[in-house]
Chains A and B, each alone.
Chain A
């Protein structure tokens, strides 16, 4: 990989977001290369989720530019972001509990027989079949796809959310704390899905609090602190100590057995 010129997939220049007087994100210059998996880490309120929300069109930045595959893009809503190929898995499991798996995977972009606006007839068969393929591709096993999501475990739900993102042949996937609410076994499953994405060459931005996970999964670590990007470290050339000192802003004095490493 070294020395090879790789295409820049996503770049932000001076990305800024203010909520009234709160400067949640300030002047963020970020870059993601083709096939690359990066992590965004930082303390609570460091601006990680805010950053993700700008990239995915959930919110509009106060200032700054987003460049996707070299072109400047402006997202007015999550659909715009999806149309260029950015898929997101959000922290709050953006699933509709009372719907089944195919309905959730295709939520907002249902397959229909013919277009009658809102009254288009759903092509349930095609959605079911493509959901099966999507879950297979990510290696997720769910016994009955017609069960409503509410009856599933946290891990199964998260796998559905990730499969949704991964199945739409997207050019970039963002995951905001995908394993925050999961148990050990399910976390492993999600991590395996992420490795599968790496193998398929789909770039990923992973927001995580879990440094072990970050070191296991990604190539680069972007550290956010107080709404700014504090620095970028290559996962192979750094250690937990360096990352934590960037997160906390304390250059020295982090004990190597600190609990958050």
Chain B
């Protein structure tokens, strides 16, 4: 099958660009550890309130871990617990969240924290809050009639 010379050049260029893109995100994922949130731990969605750490939502200082704080959220239609939380500036925080009922989203606008909450699964992401101010947490997966009312707030304080 004949291929025009220009088309060969075009496709080599295109394929080369894809390789560069894939290498960049591959190195970031597997070497630097920047994988998307993919926690494999499960939980009984009907026993969230009595299962640690979800029996005590909120910020907790931890010792001897790669992160300084654990921030636990419980989502249910149509709210998050806690509804507002303060986080110290520059703290490395592991956000741990799950849903008690249907699918929910968990996005802190203006940060890279964005993950799905799925009943039965625990979602985790580690982040460092480098900028002070208020960061709105919104539910970005449709969960019912009050979906757009579902929010929380992280306040990063000095």
The yes or no verdict on A and B being binding partners is: no
B-binding residues in A (CB < 8 A): none
A-binding residues in B (CB < 8 A): none
